[in-house]
Amino acid sequence: MMPTQIILLKEGTDSSQGVPQLVSNINACQVIAEAVRTTLGPRGMDKLMVDNRGKATISNDGATILKLLDVVHPAAKTLVDIAKSQDAEVGDGTTSVTLLAAEFLKQVKPYVEEGLHPQTIIRSSTATQLAVKKINEIAVSVKKGDKDEQKSLLVKCASTALNSKLIAVQKEFFSMMVVDAVMMLDDLLPLKMIGMKKVQGGALEDSQLVAGVAFKKTFSYAGFEMQPKKYENPKIALLNVELELKAEKENAEVRVKSVEDYQAIVDAEWNILYDKLEKIYKSGAKVVLSKLPIGDVATQFFADRDLFCAGRVQEEDLKRTMMACGGSIQTSVGSLTDDVLGQCALFEEVQVGGERYNFFKGCPKAKTCTIILRGGAEQFMEETERSLHDAIMIVRRAIKNDSVVAGGGAIEMELSKYLRDYSRTIPGKQQLLIGAYAKALEIIPRQLCDNAGFDATNILNKLRAKHAQAGMWYGVDVNNEDIADNYIACVWEPSIVRINALTAASEAACLILSVDETIKNPRSTVDGPPGGQGRGRGRPHAH
């Protein structure tokens, strides 16, 4: 009797499994790594990406590039996710983590093809724990007590992070700025207390750091010129109140019989407004900020009484002002008591390039600062902002965990040597697998060489020799096509970045290895052109 076939899934469901499936997933991950490979390191290239709306982005940041690629391959997506998580967790090392994960997979691919059980391979990821332990052992920590020493360490970390970016030429300027900015924050180092504003025009070096809140002056009416632009110790009213005559604007229909009636309505309108303005004036506030518009009557009223006002302030700016200056945002002017008013040491309005900026300095509540970026093209400034974000994250990390390792492939070479030595002490398949892991780590220095146009094999041979002779911190010297002690050369990175990159990469690799079947619902494959095109074997999203 013929066995009846059991139909479990809807017709058209695509399911692939077993070794070919694993190999195809590994291949997809290689494609992802290919996409970001050339961006690694100080000699890395940038990518120009144009989305379907024609918006162009230039970036060197692995996470940004992968986010924009819109990858649909399910396994390859894992790599995008770890890059994103690395970005969120430590903010740097996003290219490294992707490359490492892809390289781990590449190194074990022959074993998968030979039919070695994935679980055996996954077991070899104990090598990660060994590597992390080793990093912790050899990382150099700095004393927190010494402020000057701590600061110079932080500047070095920031400039290593900026090395690979478009703004590398101005890295000294920006690494000082980033370190100053982070050091202004309180102990928790909240990222959102660093505001970042972009003003087109001017040179990069015209960028400045403001100790406090700063934002662009919003649209303003006549009468504004008469308002004072500078106060010491002003009280600040933070409002979500409209201070504008409403009559014409609302388009309401009001039927009146006589001129007097009409006048009464107009008067009522004015009275309501004047009543609000009077209350604000009485509260003693010198600076009035509102999320909603402040009209010409109100502007003139405040100008006459020596007050400054700005309407249509962005919510984010208003909130940051509130957090920095204290007080709270009011939706009515009924109770503007002292405890809901904010305060700062100095308020002033300043010209920055073609824009007017409001500065609030000496904020008592929360320590905050604002970086005002200057520069030419918009894409360039956006990339600058992202690069500074990387550097800020690194500095924050370095303050929290003050231990560093040498970069430029030095730490990877040292770990590789350590694991290779270790693998020789164990028998069986694990020896080969841990050896493969050790080999995979070499991708970082290799790629740094490739991107700089160096002979990678030659440099790697030199590095292996040096590390065998206890030259622990030797890495790629990108300036002289040679190797150098990168600890002395001050190419430093917080050890947490490397630890996180290693663990995340190995977790992702294990995850991909542990998937041996993909089942695709037919619905998800009907629309869109047939697959097999584009990066990551993806199809563009159907929505």
CB 68, CB 401: distance < 8 Å: no
Number of residues that bind Mg ion (CB under 5 A): 1
What lies within 8 Å, CB to CB, of 242 at 6+ separation is 290, 292, 293
Strand partners, 406: 492
Contacted entry of Mg ion, ligand ADP, none for residue 408, CB cut-off 5 to 8 Å set by kind: ligand ADP
Min separation Cβ 498 and Mg ion, Å = 11
- Range in contact with Mg ion (rule: CB under 5 A) among 85-93, 314-322, 350-358, 429-437: 85-93
Min separation Cβ 157 and ligand ADP, Å = 11
**What are residue 17's phi and psi, to 5 degrees?**
-150, 175
Min separation Cβ 390 and ligand ADP, Å = 7
Which of 210, 52, 4, 101 shows the shortest CA–CA distance to 513? Answer: 101
- Taking the C-alpha atoms of residue 182 and residue 155, their distance in angstroms, rounded to an integer, is 11
Taking the least distance from each CB to Mg ion, the nearer of 175 and 368 is 175
Report the largest interatomic distance among the alpha carbons of the chain, rounded to a whole angstrom: 104
- Range in contact with Mg ion (rule: CB under 5 A) among 90-98, 116-124, 251-259, 508-516: 90-98
Query: Residue 260: exposed, middle, or buried by beta-carbon count in 10 A (0-12, 13-18, 19+)?
Result: exposed
Taking the least distance from each CB to ligand ADP, the nearer of 71 and 448 is 448
Min separation Cβ 59 and Mg ion, Å = 12
Taking the least distance from each CB to Mg ion, the nearer of 28 and 441 is 441
Taking the least distance from each CB to ligand ADP, the nearer of 182 and 497 is 497
CB 432, CB 174: distance < 8 Å: no
Which of 343, 389, 455, 350 shows the shortest CA–CA distance to 161? Answer: 389
Q: Is 61 a catalytic residue?
A: yes
Min separation Cβ 308 and ligand ADP, Å = 43
- Range in contact with Mg ion (rule: CB under 5 A) among 71-79, 86-94, 219-227, 340-348: 86-94
A 10 A CB-CB count for 219 gives 10
Contacted entry of ligand ADP, Mg ion, none for residue 499, CB cut-off 5 to 8 Å set by kind: none
Q: Is 46 a catalytic residue?
A: no
Which of 106, 95, 103, 88 shows the shortest CA–CA distance to 47? Answer: 95
Q: Is 370 a catalytic residue?
A: no
- Taking the C-alpha atoms of residue 164 and residue 46, their distance in angstroms, rounded to an integer, is 9
Position closest to Mg ion via CB: 92
Q: Write down the catalytic residue from 390, 402, 450, 477.
A: 390
Taking the least distance from each CB to Mg ion, the nearer of 41 and 375 is 41
Q: Write down the catalytic residue from 39, 46, 57, 61.
A: 61
Min separation Cβ 166 and Mg ion, Å = 12
Taking the least distance from each CB to ligand ADP, the nearer of 39 and 321 is 39
Position closest to ligand ADP via CB: 407
Under the criterion CB under 5 A, does residue 92 sit at the interface with Mg ion? yes
Q: Write down the catalytic residue from 39, 64, 78, 95.
A: 95
Task: DSSP letter for 327, please.
Answer: -
Q: In one letter, which amino acid is 360?
A: F
Taking the least distance from each CB to Mg ion, the nearer of 92 and 442 is 92
Taking the least distance from each CB to Mg ion, the nearer of 57 and 159 is 159
Binding site for ligand ADP (CB under 6 A): 39-42, 44, 60, 62, 92-96, 160, 163-164, 407-408, 444, 448, 476, 478, 491, 493
Contacted entry of Mg ion, ligand ADP, none for residue 80, CB cut-off 5 to 8 Å set by kind: none
- Taking the C-alpha atoms of residue 160 and residue 145, their distance in angstroms, rounded to an integer, is 23
Q: Give the sign of the dihedral formed by CA 7, CA 9, CA 14, CA 15.
A: negative
**What are residue 327's phi and psi, to 5 degrees?**
80, -175
Q: Checking DSSP bridges between strand 346-352 and strand 140-141, what pairing results, if any? A: unpaired
- For every residue of 354-375, DSSP letters joined together read TEEEEEEES-SSS--EEEEEEE
H or E element that contains 352: strand 346-352
Min separation Cβ 524 and ligand ADP, Å = 31
Contacted entry of Mg ion, ligand ADP, none for residue 44, CB cut-off 5 to 8 Å set by kind: ligand ADP
Q: Write down the catalytic residue from 57, 64, 78, 94.
A: 94
Tallying the residues shown for the chain, one arrives at 543
Contacted entry of ligand ADP, Mg ion, none for residue 39, CB cut-off 5 to 8 Å set by kind: ligand ADP
- Taking the C-alpha atoms of residue 314 and residue 400, their distance in angstroms, rounded to an integer, is 32
Q: Is 13 a catalytic residue?
A: no
Which two structure tokens, joined as six digits, stand for 239? 């409002």
Min separation Cβ 207 and ligand ADP, Å = 21
- Taking the C-alpha atoms of residue 215 and residue 237, their distance in angstroms, rounded to an integer, is 16
Contacted entry of ligand ADP, Mg ion, none for residue 448, CB cut-off 5 to 8 Å set by kind: ligand ADP
A 10 A CB-CB count for 292 gives 14
Binding site for Mg ion (CB under 5 A): 92
**What are the residue numbers of the active site?**
61, 94-95, 390
